[in-house]
Structure 1
Amino acid sequence: MATVEQCRAALDRFSASIAGAEGDVRSATALDRSLSCRITDLDTTFVGRLAGGRIQDVTTVAGTPADKAQIRLAMTGDDLLAMVGGRLSFARAWSSGRVTVRASLRDVLRLRSLL
Structure 2
Amino acid sequence: MATALECREALTTFSENLGKATGNARTAAQLDRSLSCWLTDLDLTFTGRLRGGHIQDLTQAPGKPAEKAQIRLTLAGDDLVALVDGSLNFAKAWGSGRVKLEASILDLLKLRSLL
Which category describes the TM-score, using the shorter chain as reference length? over 0.9
Residues 47-90 of structure 1, C-alpha deviation per residue, up to 9 Å, x if partnerless?
00000111110000110121110000000000001110110111
SS in 2 for 1:74: strand
Show the 5 A alignment for 1:5-16.
Answer: 5-16=5-16
SS in 2 for 1:41: coil
Give structure 1 regions of 4+ aligned residues with deviation exceeding 6 angstroms. Answer: none
Match of 2:69 in 1: 69
Q: Is the 8 A contact 2:38 2:65 kept in 1?
A: no
What letter corresponds to residue 114 of structure 1 in structure 2? Answer: L
Match of 2:94 in 1: 94
Match of 1:60 in 2: 60
Question: How far off is 1:18 after superposition?
Answer: 0.8
How many equivalent residue pairs?
A: 115
Identity of aligned residues (%): 60
What letter corresponds to residue 91 of structure 1 in structure 2? Answer: A
Q: Is the 8 A contact 2:34 2:48 kept in 1?
A: yes
What root-mean-square deviation, in Å, do the aligned CA atoms of Structure 1 and Structure 2 show? Answer: 0.6
Question: Are 2:84 and 1:84 equivalent residues in the alignment?
Answer: yes
Query: Mind listing any 5+ residue stretches in structure 1 that lack a counterpart?
Result: none
What letter corresponds to residue 79 of structure 1 in structure 2? Answer: D
SS in 2 for 1:31: coil
Separation (CA, whole Å) in 1 of partners of 2:92 and 2:65: 27
Question: How far off is 1:102 after superposition?
Answer: 1.0
**TM-score w.r.t. structure 1 length?**
0.98
